[in-house]
Every structure is written in structure tokens, then in C-alpha cells.
A and B are shown apart, each in its own frame.
Chain A
């Protein structure tokens, strides 16, 4: 939900539209739109995508290029799980926690949508 906030900006009171979208904070001030990554871990905020919960979702719409692990396998934080291609760029999605790969919902060649649930790591 977008909110208009009245804030201090360079010692002036200004009205600023502010909105959180998928772990990012968007705001428009002085004729410019900015977006900032909201640091994770500070709060258990279910709106933010930045917190670690073992959920692997597609950060962009694209195609699955490789799957590095299989369901049931033990994985560690930072271990590459899936490689995907979006707009001619390759991204590697890693496990964000230690645990067991509980779900793996995609295979090589699948077209996935933004935010689509791809895999889940269950905490050890």
C-alpha cells in the first residue's frame, strides 16, 4: 500500500509517496523516484522478500537453465540450487539457509513467472 508521508528532507518538510514492494522501498522526492533494498534480518516483516525462510522464488520472469540439486538432498546456505535466464542474463538462485531441499517444483526448460514458487528448503 502506498502512503503519503510528510517527512524532513534536507531540512524541509515535504510530502513523499512511499511504498514497499517485494523487499524494496520505493519513494519519490525532489522530482526523482528511488528504490532501496530494505535490509533483511532487522525485523520479521512478512512483506519484505529479504528475510531468509528457505523459500526460493523467481526474481524475474524467465526460463530455468539448470537444476543443481534434487528433492530430499541436504543443502547448505549459499549452495547454488537453480540457474535461470531472464532477458538474456543468467541468475543463480542459492539456498538461503542450511537444511533439506523439501520441494523442487521446476525442471530445466520451464518458463516461470515473477515471484513463482520454485523450491523450498526446510531448516535442519
Chain B
């Protein structure tokens, strides 16, 4: 079935990414947006816009009803959910299906299967794929849970069954903490996800986060698009991702890819999905499967030369893809997530009006940007404002290119984590490629030390500011001012 109009149930840079893909395929776009998001790039780019509610996500981007109403009102054939928000909500996928709107993603059954961490693990166990030792039984009494934790051996992770994003997740380091941690995870699970069900898992101290991009095409075949490494994480949130991983041998790469494909095939998976693993030495364990496009999908696109968003849309239209015959990775790609935050205040979000922004183009530099000068970064949403992706012939060169790209990037009006990203990229453990998911916590949890400008530097900068005001005056009143000794403006010459 060919689409004519596609709804976008998301915001920011991913909405821009989806609009571009639709436009290239000749499809009309309808952006479902919250009230404050009229000041975003996606709003300006979409062919049609439908307001779905107020700033808080619950009133807009998380409201199934508001999104379905907008989809019906605007007469879209399909909805792309992006990532986050409703992208992994089986009720939303089902509501689309019921209203005759194609949900661009897997079936609601597949979302439900992998969304419940326990049913996902049962599937993986049946397939005899490697799982971290743990307990996921129905007996949720404190006695049973603590006994199981003892059996697994500390440290043990207790995790809300319906959890995600690090919420409802605790690490029990010794027996004396068990009761308190289990109860706390149950409480958090209940308040955040409506279910107090938890499972236990051996906590692996120093592992790498490796994930395999898989894709189920319209004909029902599941393909592996190789792996990404996302070990640089802060509080379970990824900051820097790359493809391929510097840690896999060819043999291991093949093995982990095959495992990922097998898991997706067992669920008759259609569309883009990601199977996440923990890698410790040369052993890997299944963690979870994400049934959506990932934030970090561009690094896979860069090393393979594919367009995953277009592939999602084409597959949803039952069209075949062209790129399966020759999927061979070339070179290395790295992505840095640009967060509006103060790196010198331990990452406190920074909100405000965006001033001048410059994302310096260059060969194999890619910028996924959701906001422009004059837009406001509000406190309603995630603070990620852009992604910077580079490709180069080797990992070393890709790191060098990323460093230069970040140094050339200018964002005024809100603070960004660029200084932190630069510190990570130049850390010897990152350069060696041996970082684990503990890397950030070990080296950067204290935050960066403020780099104070010297009094002379400050004085110089303030004089530039005064020069800006002077110029304002001289151009509007006709008073000739003496040439400023500090500055002259080359752009007016």
C-alpha cells in the first residue's frame, strides 16, 4: 500500500530526520506537536502541523488519544513514532492498527513481547541464546527474592519488570542491602510503571554495551546491520556511540549478529530493531531488544551507506529494499549527543533562547539538528538538542575528526556538553577502545572543573561587548566615534 501522507508523533531532531526521509520519498508530512514546540525546526519544515496539547509530555507526546485524534483529523495513512515517547507503546501501535493507520514499526504483539523484559528473556532462553544468570519467577515475595539473590551471588541487580531508562533499577552489593533495595525497586516500579514486579540478575561490573541493528524486511527476512558500541553512558544514558565496535573479533561479530537475527526471527520481526548485549571479555549476554529506531542509528547508516528511516517507511509500505546484497561496513563512524546542559555544574540542564548556532559542514560530518537561532530550549523535554556524527577511514581518524568538529561547533544562548565530550574523546581509555559502561562513572562523575577566564581575558571580552553596543549607537545616531583599539568588524568591510 502506497502512503500519501505520514504523521510524525515526535519532536526535535528525530522529527526533522523523519520529515526529510518522507520528503525524499515524495510523501506529505504532518507534525503532531505540543503548544510550545511551534518554535522548533520540525514545525517549520512539516507540510502540515497539528497541535496535540500542552508542553508537559503527558498532555501531548505521551497521549495516545491526542495523537490518534490528530492522525484521524489530518487523514494520514501512517504514523512514524520516532524514538522515546509512544514509540514502544503497544497500546499506541494497536490504536493505530484499529483506526486503519499504519504504525511505522513492528506489530503491537512484537512490541509487547519485547517490552515486557520477562517475556523477552523467556523467548531468548527458549532459543538457548546466552542470558545473564538471574531470577524472573512469579513468586515475588521478599523471602524468595532474597534467597534467589543469594543463589545468584552478589552483586545482583534488581530491576522493575516494566522498567526502562534506569528507573526502578538498583544494585545490591551485599546481603545486608538486599531487603531495602528490593523494596525500593518495587516501589519505584509501581509508581513509575504501574507494576511492582521485579526480576533479579547478576550484575556484571565491567562490561561493554554492544548492540546489533537488525531489520526485518517486507518479505519477512531478518538482516543484521552489524553492531554499535555504546559503552560511554551516564546513569544508563548513552552519550557517545560508534560503529563498528573496536572490541569484537570477526568471529565474535558473526556470532553476536547471528544471535540477534535469531531472536528477531523468532518473533517474526518487521522493521528496524536493536538487540542489546553486554560483552565481558569474549562472552556476551542478551540484555533487551528495542523495537524502534535508535537515537544512534546514524553511525550504522554511515558505515554501511544505508538510510534506515526510509527503509522503515518503505517496509511499512510493503516495498522491497535494495541494499541487502552488499552490506559491508567501511571505515568508522562516531556519534556525540549534544545536550543543553552545564558541563561545569555536573550536567544541570540549561534552558533558554538559542542564539547564534554554527554547525560547520565538512566531508563526512553530519549534523542532526532540531533547533535553530530564536528557538527556545524548554524544561519540558529531554535536553538533547542535536547529534553530531562523523565518518572517517579509521577509528583514530574518526576521533580526530569529531574533536575538530566539536571545536568548530558554536551554540550560543544555552550551555552544551561539548567540553565534556572533548574530554571523553581524549581520554586514553576511550582512545584505546577499552572503555566499559563504568567508564563515565569512574572518570567523569565528579564533573568538569570550571575553566575560569583570566581577568585580562574577561576584560578583553567585555570590551568586545562594548564595541558591539558602540556600533549600535554610531550606526543609528550619526556621531563618529573614535576607532576602537580592540576591535574592528571585518564583516562590514
Question: Which residues of A come within 8 Å of B, CB atoms?
Answer: 2-9, 15-22, 25-28, 31-36, 38-39, 43, 45, 47, 60-62, 86-87, 111, 113-115
CB of A8 within 8 A of CB of B410, answer no
Is B376 a contact partner of A7 (Cβ separation < 8 A)?
no
Question: Does B432 reach chain A (CB closer than 8 Å)?
Answer: no
- Name which of B26-34, B190-198, B271-279, B344-352 contacts chain A: B344-352
Residues of A within 8 A of B415 (CB): 33, 35
Task: Indicate if B407 sits at the interface (CB-CB under 8 A).
Answer: yes
Residue B90 at the A interface, CB < 8 A? Answer: no
**CB proximity to A under 8 Å, residues B387-432:** 406-408, 410-413, 415-416, 418-419, 422
Partner of B349, one of A25, A43, A87: A87
B130 within 8 A of A: no
Q: Does B412 lie within 8 Å of A2, measured CB to CB?
A: yes
Chain B residues 346-383 with CB under 8 Å of chain A are 348-349, 351-353, 355-356, 358, 376, 378-379
**B180 proximal to A (CB < 8 A):** no
Instruction: Point out the residues of chain A lying under 8 angstroms from B418, CB to CB.
Output: 33
The one of A17, A18, A38, A114 in contact with B358, judged by C-beta atoms closer than 8 angstroms, is: A17
User: Are A19 and B461 in touch, CB under 8 angstroms?
Assistant: no
Asked if B206 is at the interface of the complex by the 8 Å CB criterion, the answer is no
Q: Say yes or no: is B488 at the interface (Cβ < 8 Å to chain A).
A: yes
Total interface residues in chain B, CB < 8 Å:
44
With a cutoff of 8 Å between Cβ atoms, the chain B residues found around residue A2 in the complex are: 355-356, 412
Q: Given A33-B411, A86-B379, A22 and B353 touching (CB < 8 A)?
A: yes
- List the B side residues contacting A114 at CB < 8 Å: 351-353, 376, 378
Cα distance A22–B355 in the bound complex, in angstroms: 10
Q: Which of B55, B407, B419, B486 contacts A8 (CB 8 A)?
A: B486
Which residues of chain A are within 8 angstroms of B464 by Cβ–Cβ distance?
Answer: 5, 7, 16, 18, 25, 27
- Can you give 30 A-B contacts (C-beta < 8 A)? A3-B471, A3-B489, A5-B464, A8-B460, A8-B486, A9-B457, A17-B412, A18-B464, A21-B412, A25-B465, A26-B356, A26-B412, A27-B464, A28-B410, A31-B407, A31-B408, A33-B410, A38-B465, A43-B466, A43-B469, A47-B469, A60-B352, A60-B379, A86-B351, A86-B379, A87-B348, A87-B351, A111-B55, A114-B352, A114-B353
Residue among B55, B356, B457, B487 with the highest chain A CB neighbour number at 10 A: B356
Q: Bound complex: CA of A3 vs CA of B429, how far in Å?
A: 39
B408 to chain A, nearest CB (A): 7
Further pairs besides A17-B356, A61-B351, A86-B379: 19, Cβ < 8 Å = A4-B491, A5-B467, A5-B468, A5-B487, A5-B488, A7-B460, A8-B486, A9-B460, A17-B412, A22-B353, A25-B461, A26-B355, A31-B406, A33-B410, A34-B461, A36-B465, A39-B462, A45-B469, A114-B353
Q: A3-B468, A19-B355, A114-B376 are in contact. Are A33 and B461 (CB under 8 A)?
A: no
In the complex, what residue of chain A is closest to B404 when comparing beta carbons?
A31
| A61:B378 contact, CB within 8 angstroms | yes
The reply to whether the CB of B481 lies closer than 8 angstroms to some CB of chain A is no
Q: Is B283 close to A, CB under 8 A?
A: no
Cross-chain contact B461 with A27 (CB below 8 angstroms): yes
Identify the closest chain A residue to B418 (Cβ). Answer: A33
User: A26 and B379 in contact (CB under 8 A), knowing A5-B467, A7-B464, A18-B464?
Assistant: no
Give, as a whole number of angstroms, the nearest-CB distance from A40 to chain B.
12
Report whether over half of chain B's contact residues are helix, strand or loop; otherwise say mixed: mixed
From B460, B469, B488, contact of A6 by CB (8 A): B488
Q: Which of B351, B411, B464, B469 has the most CB of A within 10 A?
A: B464
Residue B234 at the chain A interface, CB threshold 8 Å: no
**CB of A20, distance to nearest CB on chain B (Å):** 6
Min distance, Cβ A25 to any Cβ of chain B, angstroms = 4
A4: B residues at CB distance < 8 A? 489-491
Tell me the smallest distance from the CB of B124 to a CB of chain A, in Å: 38
**Which residue of B has the minimal Cβ distance to A6?**
B490
| Residue in B379, B467, B490 whose beta carbon sits within 8 Å of that of A15 in the complex | B490
B465 and A20 form a contact (CB under 8 A): yes
Once the chains bind, are B412 and A6 in contact (CB under 8 Å)?
Answer: no
> What's the Cα separation between A86 and B355 when bound, in Å?
21
Inter-chain contacts of B349 with A (CB < 8 A): 87
For the complex, is B458 an interface residue (Cβ under 8 Å from A)?
yes
Q: Which residues of A contact B322 (CB under 8 A)?
A: none
Cα separation A52 to B422 with both chains bound (whole Å): 39
Determine the distance from Cα of A3 to Cα of B356 in the docked complex, in whole angstroms.
9
Q: How far is the CB of A61 from chain B (nearest CB, A)?
A: 5
**Nearest CB of B to A27, in Å:** 6
Task: Give the residue of B378, B379, B408, B412 whose beta carbon is less than 8 angstroms from that of A19.
Answer: B412
A21 touches B468 (CB 8 A): no
- Does B453 count as interface, using CB distance less than 8 angstroms? yes
Q: Look across to chain A and name the residue whose beta carbon is closest to the beta carbon of B472.
A: A47
Q: Which of B353, B468, B490 has the most CB of A within 10 A?
A: B468
